[in-house]
């Protein structure tokens, strides 16, 4: 650009801007640029300019002092945010253990393992996750599915007629689902299933009719019918009052028997009352009255038992009059039918009679031996020792199909007195072999003709002096006791009870059997509690009844019956 001054005005005035020549803007260099009449200026690079004779230093960078505090503030803020939100951030991290538990729960649900107590059921696993993480949607949904599966299980159980299983599944479903239409439907179906006659008539009316007829207990008694009504409707007031009336009637009968000093009848009535109305209010006082009556008789009973034991030791086993063991044991049982010592004493009397019979046979008095064995048979008909003694005497020969007597032509000649042929020895050996195999299978008293007991007896019927057959037969009580221990260890209480009865048949009066009965009774009470906790009330009642038959004096029975009746 260029400027000029107004020549007409001698004063220094404003310089008007003038656009210079544009022709040489792209020229080769400044030397060719013509003079435009304007002042010329030379501008040099800053490093070439001098200031007070020295080069001018380059300009300094401006300091940014605010950046560092800002970074520190940002770091502090981020740390505070992490601290305040640590729980939320932790929840965002992968939870490997919980995921594994959920996977196991899903697998248990798919396998139908819905509930249990071992920690590996679907319900337990889902609840474990929920306890660690209450808001876990997958666990919540899993528990809902378990509840629905329990509903399906209850429906299937009802279809199959398993009412107790359906009741237990319904209760579990109710806990998980919190009620609902399916739960109400199932409960109504269970109630109808427990009371099939309710649709055709009132079971309460039937119970009242039985009560009026004086039929208080038993399958068709008033107590049983009222109890069935309460199983389906625990709050039924009519059935509750009716069951109390049954208790009052049985208690009145028990008091009359106690007043008449009929301890046997009184004890039986009290036990019937305990079975029908286990939580009857006056039951403890009735038991106390019985106990007091028992105390009054204890001295006399103890005297009789002591005298009976003395009779056994002195050889006064049986006979006419009261001065013998058999008469005194029977006298004790007349007063106390459940006296285990007296019951065992009868078995000891039978054993003593068998020993006397063997002595009579050894003395050649077979007739006296038979009389003694017949008397023992009235007390212990299935005794192994009795069977061995009869075989030795020859009384089992005809039953076994032997022909030795007929061949000898004399009724007094026994197989033991005859020479045994090689064929008979082979037959005896085969019977003993089969008996041992039956023993190993556990077939002691059944099936008939193919059990160890019958096979050994048949072998002795051929050769009453065969040592292997006799020892095998007499070893059966010990074999059965070992089987009893195995059944108890495995929890098979029903089979244990059967084995205990077999022991009582084979070895009556064995002192150790009383302790075995107490053990089995205690295990049955435990089983009843487990069944009750699982919702199987009928099974629990059956276990308690079996325990009561084995050991009526078990201290846990009254409370167990009361808990069952109240539904606890």
Give the whole-angstrom CA distance, residue 329 versus residue 440. Answer: 37
Per domain, the residue ranges of the chain are 97-194, 199-277, 297-380
Say if CB 444 and CB 476 are below 8 A apart: yes
Q: What is the DSSP letter of 16?
A: E
What mean pLDDT is predicted for residues 350-355?
85
pLDDT digits (tens, 9 = 90+) for 458-510: 888 888 788 898 889 889 999 999 999 999 998 899 889 989 988 888 888 77
Structure tokens at 423: 């064929």
End-to-end CA distance of the chain: 113
Question: DSSP letters along 327-371, please?
Answer: HHHHHHHHH-TT-HHHHHHHHHHHHHHHHHHHHHHHTT-HHHHHH
Percent of the chain whose predicted confidence (pLDDT) is above 90: 11
Taking the complete model, does pTM exceed 0.85, yes or no? no
**Three-state helix/strand/coil letters over 55-88:** ECCCCCCCCCCCHHHHHHHHHHHHHHHHHHCHHH
Q: Where are the alpha helices (DSSP H) in 178-282?
A: 181-194, 203-212, 222-232, 237-259, 263-276
Cβ contact 118:87 at 8 Å: no
DSSP alpha helix (H) spans, 15-136: 67-84, 86-92, 96-110, 122-132
- CB burial of residue 476 (10 Å; 0-12, 13-18, 19+): buried
Stronger pLDDT, 98 or 256, i.e. the higher one: 256
- pLDDT tens figures, 178-203: 778 888 888 877 877 776 544 434 67
Domains 97-194 and 297-380 share a fold: yes
279-318 CB burial, b ≥16 within 10 A, e <16: bbebbeebbebbeebeeeeeeebeebbebbbebbeeebbb
CATH level 3 topology of 297-380:
1.25.40
Q: Which structure tokens are listed for 37?
A: 């009449």
In CATH, the number for domain 97-194 is 1.25.40
């Amino acid at each position: 650009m260029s400027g000029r001054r107004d020549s007409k005005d001698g004063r220094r005035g404003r310089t008007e801007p003038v656009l210079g020549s544009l022709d040489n803007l792209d020229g080769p260099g400044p030397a060719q640029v013509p003079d435009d009449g304007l002042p010329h200026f030379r501008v040099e690079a800053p490093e070439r300019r001098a200031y007070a004779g020295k080069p001018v230093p380059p300009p300094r960078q401006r300091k940014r002092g605010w950046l560092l505090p800002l970074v520190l503030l940002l770091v502090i803020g981020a740390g505070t945010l992490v601290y305040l939100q640590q729980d939320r951030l932790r929840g965002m991290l992968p939870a490997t253990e919980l995921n594994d538990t959920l996977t196991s729960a899903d697998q248990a649900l798919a396998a139908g393992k819905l509930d249990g107590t071992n920690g590996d059921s679907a319900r337990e696993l889902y609840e474990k996750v929920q306890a660690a993480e209450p808001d876990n949607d997958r666990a919540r949904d899993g528990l809902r599915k378990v509840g629905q599966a329990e509903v399906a299980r209850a429906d299937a159980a009802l279809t199959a007629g398993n009412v107790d299983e359906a009741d237990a599944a319904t209760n579990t479903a109710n806990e998980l689902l919190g009620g609902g239409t399916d739960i109400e439907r199932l409960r109504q179906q269970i109630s109808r299933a427990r009371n099939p006659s309710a649709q055709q008539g009132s079971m309460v009316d039937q119970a009242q009719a039985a009560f009026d007829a004086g039929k208080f207990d038993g399958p068709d008694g008033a107590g049983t019918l009222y109890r069935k009504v309460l199983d389906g409707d625990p709050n039924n007031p009519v059935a509750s009052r009716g069951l109390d009336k049954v208790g009052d009637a049985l208690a009145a009968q028990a008091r009359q028997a106690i007043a008449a000093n009929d301890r046997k009848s009184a004890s039986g009535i009290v036990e019937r009352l305990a079975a029908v109305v286990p939580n009857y209010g006056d039951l403890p006082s009735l038991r106390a009255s019985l106990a007091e009556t028992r105390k009054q008789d204890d001295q006399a009973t103890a005297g009789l038992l002591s005298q009976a034991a003395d009779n056994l030791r002195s050889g006064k086993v049986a006979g006419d009059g009261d001065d013998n063991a058999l008469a005194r044991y029977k006298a004790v049982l007349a007063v106390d039918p459940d006296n285990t010592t007296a019951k065992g004493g009868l078995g000891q009397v039978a054993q003593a009679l068998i020993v006397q019979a063997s002595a009579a046979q050894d003395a050649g008095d077979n007739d006296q031996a038979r009389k003694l064995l017949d008397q023992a048979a009235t007390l212990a008909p299935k005794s192994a020792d009795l069977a061995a003694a009869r075989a030795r005497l020859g009384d089992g020969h005809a039953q076994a199909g032997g022909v030795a007597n007929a061949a000898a032509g004399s009724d007094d000649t026994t197989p033991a007195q005859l020479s045994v042929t090689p064929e008979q020895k082979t037959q005896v050996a085969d019977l003993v072999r089969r008996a041992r195999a039956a023993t190993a299978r556990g077939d002691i008293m059944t099936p008939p003709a193919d059990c160890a007991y019958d096979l050994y007896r048949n072998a002795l019927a051929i050769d009453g002096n065969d040592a292997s057959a006799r020892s095998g037969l007499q070893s059966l009580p010990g074999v059965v006791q070992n089987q009893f221990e195995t059944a108890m260890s495995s929890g098979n209480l029903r089979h244990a009870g059967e084995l205990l009865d077999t022991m009582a048949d084979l070895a009556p009066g064995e002192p150790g059997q009383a302790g075995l009965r107490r053990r089995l009774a205690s295990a049955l009470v435990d089983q009843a509690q487990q069944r009750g906790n699982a919702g199987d009330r009928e099974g629990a009642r059956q276990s308690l009844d079996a325990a009561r038959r084995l050991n009526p004096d078990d201290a846990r029975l009254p409370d167990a019956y009361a808990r069952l009746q109240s539904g606890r």
